[in-house]
DNA sequence: ATAAAAAGAGCTGTATAATGCACTTAAGAG
DNA sequence: CTCTTAAGTGCATTATACAGCTCTTTTTAT
Protein backbone atom coordinates (compact mmCIF):
# COMPACT_ATOMS: atom_id res chain seq x y z
CA UNK A 1 0.00 0.00 0.00
CA UNK A 2 1.15 3.50 -0.75
CA UNK A 3 1.29 6.07 2.01
CA UNK A 4 -1.79 7.81 0.66
CA UNK A 5 -3.83 4.63 0.85
CA UNK A 6 -2.67 4.01 4.38
CA UNK A 7 -3.47 7.48 5.64
CA UNK A 8 -6.83 7.43 3.90
CA UNK A 9 -7.62 4.11 5.51
CA UNK A 10 -6.67 5.42 8.94
CA UNK A 11 -8.75 8.52 8.43
CA UNK A 12 -11.81 6.67 7.20
CA UNK A 13 -11.68 4.19 10.02
CA UNK A 14 -11.18 6.94 12.60
CA UNK A 15 -14.35 8.58 11.34
CA UNK A 16 -16.19 5.30 11.16
CA UNK A 17 -15.49 4.87 14.86
CA UNK A 18 -16.78 8.38 15.50
CA UNK A 19 -13.45 9.72 16.72
CA UNK A 20 -12.38 13.34 16.27
CA UNK A 21 -8.73 14.17 15.64
CA UNK A 22 -8.56 15.43 19.21
CA UNK A 23 -9.87 12.20 20.63
CA UNK A 24 -7.49 10.35 18.33
CA UNK A 25 -4.50 12.14 19.87
CA UNK A 26 -5.72 11.34 23.36
CA UNK A 27 -6.02 7.66 22.59
CA UNK A 28 -2.84 7.30 20.55
CA UNK A 29 -0.40 9.67 22.21
CA UNK A 30 0.43 11.12 18.79
CA UNK A 31 0.19 14.90 18.77
CA UNK A 32 -2.69 16.70 17.15
CA UNK A 33 -0.26 18.54 14.89
CA UNK A 34 1.14 15.27 13.59
CA UNK A 35 -2.26 13.76 12.95
CA UNK A 36 -3.39 16.84 11.06
CA UNK A 37 -0.26 16.81 8.92
CA UNK A 38 -0.59 13.11 8.25
CA UNK A 39 -4.27 13.17 7.32
CA UNK A 40 -3.77 16.09 4.99
CA UNK A 41 -0.94 14.30 3.22
CA UNK A 42 1.93 16.46 4.45
CA UNK A 43 4.33 14.14 6.13
CA UNK A 44 6.46 11.07 5.79
CA UNK A 45 5.60 9.50 9.16
CA UNK A 46 7.83 7.23 11.16
CA UNK A 47 6.93 3.61 11.64
CA UNK A 48 6.17 4.27 15.27
CA UNK A 49 3.70 7.04 14.54
CA UNK A 50 1.75 4.89 12.10
CA UNK A 51 1.80 1.97 14.51
CA UNK A 52 0.48 4.00 17.43
CA UNK A 53 -2.41 5.24 15.33
CA UNK A 54 -3.18 1.85 13.82
CA UNK A 55 -3.19 0.33 17.28
CA UNK A 56 -6.06 2.54 18.41
CA UNK A 57 -8.06 1.34 15.42
CA UNK A 58 -7.26 -2.31 16.07
CA UNK A 59 -5.09 -2.43 12.98
CA UNK A 60 -1.43 -3.04 12.24
CA UNK A 61 1.24 -2.73 9.55
CA UNK A 62 2.39 -5.94 7.94
CA UNK A 63 5.29 -6.58 5.59
CA UNK A 64 4.16 -8.92 2.84
CA UNK A 65 5.05 -10.16 -0.56
CA UNK A 66 3.52 -8.23 -3.39
CA UNK A 67 0.77 -10.15 -5.02
CA UNK A 68 0.33 -10.30 -8.79
CA UNK A 69 -2.35 -7.89 -9.94
CA UNK A 70 -4.92 -10.54 -10.79
CA UNK A 71 -5.36 -11.36 -7.13
CA UNK B 1 4.06 -6.76 12.92
CA UNK B 2 6.44 -5.08 15.28
CA UNK B 3 9.39 -3.15 13.91
CA UNK B 4 11.78 -5.87 14.94
CA UNK B 5 9.88 -8.47 12.95
CA UNK B 6 9.83 -6.22 9.94
CA UNK B 7 13.53 -5.45 9.98
CA UNK B 8 14.37 -9.11 10.56
CA UNK B 9 12.23 -10.08 7.62
CA UNK B 10 13.89 -7.51 5.39
CA UNK B 11 17.32 -8.67 6.47
CA UNK B 12 16.59 -12.35 5.97
CA UNK B 13 15.13 -11.80 2.56
CA UNK B 14 18.00 -9.57 1.52
CA UNK B 15 20.39 -12.39 2.41
CA UNK B 16 18.21 -14.97 0.75
CA UNK B 17 18.54 -13.02 -2.47
CA UNK B 18 22.30 -12.91 -1.99
CA UNK B 19 22.45 -9.13 -1.64
CA UNK B 20 25.07 -7.36 0.46
CA UNK B 21 24.17 -4.19 2.34
CA UNK B 22 26.16 -2.25 -0.24
CA UNK B 23 24.21 -3.76 -3.12
CA UNK B 24 21.03 -3.10 -1.16
CA UNK B 25 21.81 0.63 -0.98
CA UNK B 26 22.53 0.72 -4.69
CA UNK B 27 19.22 -0.89 -5.55
CA UNK B 28 17.09 0.99 -3.02
CA UNK B 29 18.63 4.43 -2.87
CA UNK B 30 18.65 4.21 0.92
CA UNK B 31 22.05 5.06 2.35
CA UNK B 32 24.35 2.39 3.69
CA UNK B 33 24.42 4.08 7.08
CA UNK B 34 20.63 3.91 7.32
CA UNK B 35 20.50 0.26 6.33
CA UNK B 36 23.14 -0.60 8.90
CA UNK B 37 21.28 1.25 11.63
CA UNK B 38 18.00 -0.35 10.68
CA UNK B 39 19.28 -3.90 10.50
CA UNK B 40 21.03 -3.59 13.82
CA UNK B 41 17.85 -2.32 15.46
CA UNK B 42 18.92 1.28 16.01
CA UNK B 43 16.36 3.41 14.31
CA UNK B 44 12.72 4.29 13.98
CA UNK B 45 12.59 4.42 10.19
CA UNK B 46 10.24 6.53 8.14
CA UNK B 47 7.58 4.92 6.04
CA UNK B 48 9.42 5.89 2.92
CA UNK B 49 12.65 4.21 3.95
CA UNK B 50 10.88 0.94 4.72
CA UNK B 51 8.96 1.13 1.48
CA UNK B 52 12.05 1.70 -0.64
CA UNK B 53 13.74 -1.31 0.89
CA UNK B 54 10.67 -3.52 0.65
CA UNK B 55 10.26 -2.59 -2.99
CA UNK B 56 13.65 -4.04 -3.89
CA UNK B 57 12.61 -7.32 -2.29
CA UNK B 58 9.27 -7.40 -4.08
CA UNK B 59 7.47 -6.74 -0.82
CA UNK B 60 5.26 -3.99 0.59
CA UNK B 61 3.74 -2.66 3.79
CA UNK B 62 0.04 -3.18 4.24
CA UNK B 63 -2.32 -1.77 6.83
CA UNK B 64 -4.65 -4.49 8.00
CA UNK B 65 -7.03 -5.42 10.75
CA UNK B 66 -5.51 -7.31 13.58
CA UNK B 67 -6.56 -10.91 13.54
CA UNK B 68 -7.58 -12.77 16.68
CA UNK B 69 -4.72 -14.88 18.03
CA UNK B 70 -6.26 -18.19 17.05
CA UNK B 71 -5.73 -17.46 13.37
C1' DA C 1 -27.88 32.42 8.20
C1' DT C 2 -25.47 31.87 12.34
C1' DA C 3 -22.99 29.54 16.01
C1' DA C 4 -20.19 25.76 17.46
C1' DA C 5 -17.10 22.16 16.51
C1' DA C 6 -13.72 20.06 13.74
C1' DA C 7 -10.11 20.20 10.52
C1' DG C 8 -6.26 22.49 8.39
C1' DA C 9 -2.22 25.86 8.12
C1' DG C 10 1.68 29.18 9.59
C1' DC C 11 5.37 29.85 12.67
C1' DT C 12 8.74 28.02 15.80
C1' DG C 13 11.65 24.98 18.71
C1' DT C 14 13.37 20.38 19.70
C1' DA C 15 14.43 15.70 18.75
C1' DT C 16 16.03 12.54 15.74
C1' DA C 17 16.14 10.17 10.97
C1' DA C 18 19.16 10.14 7.15
C1' DT C 19 23.63 10.79 5.48
C1' DG C 20 28.91 10.56 4.82
C1' DC C 21 33.42 9.45 6.50
C1' DA C 22 36.66 6.87 9.08
C1' DC C 23 37.52 3.04 11.96
C1' DT C 24 36.62 -1.59 14.21
C1' DT C 25 34.79 -6.11 14.34
C1' DA C 26 33.07 -10.29 12.27
C1' DA C 27 32.65 -13.68 8.69
C1' DG C 28 34.48 -16.39 4.69
C1' DA C 29 37.90 -18.01 1.40
C1' DG C 30 42.37 -19.38 0.49
C1' DC D 1 46.97 -18.50 10.00
C1' DT D 2 46.35 -14.30 6.56
C1' DC D 3 43.76 -11.70 3.27
C1' DT D 4 39.44 -9.99 1.66
C1' DT D 5 34.87 -8.73 2.05
C1' DA D 6 30.83 -7.72 4.71
C1' DA D 7 28.74 -5.85 8.74
C1' DG D 8 28.60 -2.79 12.64
C1' DT D 9 30.02 1.70 15.39
C1' DG D 10 31.44 6.66 16.61
C1' DC D 11 31.27 11.28 15.31
C1' DA D 12 29.52 15.29 12.76
C1' DT D 13 26.22 17.50 9.59
C1' DT D 14 21.87 18.20 7.34
C1' DA D 15 17.12 17.49 6.75
C1' DT D 16 12.90 16.81 8.60
C1' DA D 17 9.41 14.47 11.83
C1' DC D 18 7.23 15.74 15.94
C1' DA D 19 5.28 18.99 18.83
C1' DG D 20 2.80 23.28 20.81
C1' DC D 21 0.62 27.58 19.98
C1' DT D 22 -2.28 30.53 17.39
C1' DC D 23 -5.19 31.66 13.62
C1' DT D 24 -8.07 30.45 9.46
C1' DT D 25 -11.05 27.59 6.93
C1' DT D 26 -14.37 24.04 6.59
C1' DT D 27 -17.99 21.27 8.26
C1' DT D 28 -22.02 20.32 11.02
C1' DA D 29 -26.04 21.44 13.63
C1' DT D 30 -29.63 24.61 14.91
Q: Which of residues 26-45 of B touch strand D (CB under 7 A)?
A: 33, 36-37, 39-40, 42
The domains of chain A are located at: 3-56
A29 CB closer than 7 A to any strand D atom: yes
At residue B30, the pLDDT reads: 97
Check whether A71 has a pLDDT greater than 90. Answer: no
Q: Chain A closest CA to B16's CA: distance in Å?
A: 14
The pLDDT-based confidence of B71 (bands split at 50, 70, 90) is confident
Q: What are the residues facing B62 on neighbouring strands? A: A62
Q: Quick one: A38 exposed, middle or buried, by C-beta within 10 A (0-12, 13-18, 19+)?
A: buried
How would you label B1-19 residue by residue, b for 16+ Cβ within 10 Å and e otherwise? bebeebbebbbebbeeeeb
| pLDDT for residue B69 is more than 90 | no
Residue from A39, A71, A58 nearest B64 by CA: A58
B32 touches strand C (CB under 7 A): yes
Distance CA B56, CA A50 (A): 22
Q: Nearest by CB to A63, which of B48, B54, B65?
A: B54
With beta carbons less than 8 A apart as the criterion, state whether A22 and A30 touch.
no
pLDDT tens column, B6-64? 999 999 999 999 999 999 999 999 999 999 999 999 999 999 999 999 999 999 999 99
Measured CA to CA, the distance from residue A8 to residue B43 in angstroms comes to 26
Closest alpha carbon to A66 in B13, B19, B61: B61
Q: Assess if CATH 3.20.20.70 describes domain B3-56.
A: no
Amino acid sequence: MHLREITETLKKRRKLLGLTQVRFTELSGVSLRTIKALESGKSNPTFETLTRLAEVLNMELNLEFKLPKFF
